[in-house]
């Protein structure tokens, strides 16, 4: 089951969902709008290596925004810290943003129960596109669960700002 807007409000009020900052105007009929934070991260190597930490460059946007370029992956983040110990959150790009040619969160929309923090956004434009800090970029839906809950306690817990891939850490655990 997907939570409705009124249930999202009630769950945010009683602590089953945490959204900070919470703005009532960002509640939709069955989702909550999240906004783009001010930091964008890009990988700087010509080749990204999944088994190694990769160098990155961080850009802080101002009110003039930033022009995203095609064929580049940008890691952004939500302004809001979002999480739940009860519901499964899923993040999707807003359709208005998709209609501008920006793909948001195509491969990793699911959040684990127990994760709390800012969400890293994978942003890929199909043509040059100016984005702005604070613009509504995505929406999070909350799904009810069935069965025992084992809360997330992984490497991205408590994320603040864009988080580059930590996949290489998984490889270290295999050695």
Identify the domain containing residue 156 by its residue range.
Answer: 5-174
For residue 120, the model assigns a pLDDT of 94
Collect all residues with Cβ–Cβ distance below 8 Å to 121 and sequence separation of at least 6.
36, 75, 76, 77, 78, 91, 104, 105, 137, 138, 162
For residue 175, the model assigns a pLDDT of 47
pLDDT of 108 above 80: no
pLDDT of 35 above 50: yes
- What is the mean pLDDT of the segment spanning 13-25? 98
For residue 173, the model assigns a pLDDT of 63
CATH code (residue 137): 2.70.40.10
Q: How many domains does the chain have?
A: 1
pLDDT of 11 above 60: yes
- What is the mean pLDDT of the segment spanning 18-42? 98
């Amino acid at each position: 089951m997907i939570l409705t807007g009124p249930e999202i409000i009630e769950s945010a009020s009683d602590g089953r969902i945490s959204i900070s900052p919470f703005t009532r105007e960002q509640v939709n009929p069955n989702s909550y709008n999240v906004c783009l934070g001010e930091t964008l991260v890009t990988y700087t190597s010509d080749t990204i290596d999944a088994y190694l930490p990769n160098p990155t460059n961080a850009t802080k946007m101002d009110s003039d925004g930033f022009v995203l370029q095609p064929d580049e992956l940008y890691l952004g983040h939500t302004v809001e810290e979002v999480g739940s110990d009860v519901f499964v959150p899923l993040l999707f790009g807003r359709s208005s943003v998709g209609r501008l040619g920006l793909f948001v969160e195509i491969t990793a929309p699911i959040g684990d129960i127990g994760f709390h923090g800012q969400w890293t956004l994978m942003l890929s434009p199909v043509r040059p596109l100016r984005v702005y800090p604070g613009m509504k970029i995505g929406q999070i839906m909350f799904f009810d669960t069935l069965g025992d809950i084992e809360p997330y306690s992984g490497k991205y817990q408590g994320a603040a700002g864009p988080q580059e891939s930590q996949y290489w850490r998984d490889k270290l655990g295999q050695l």
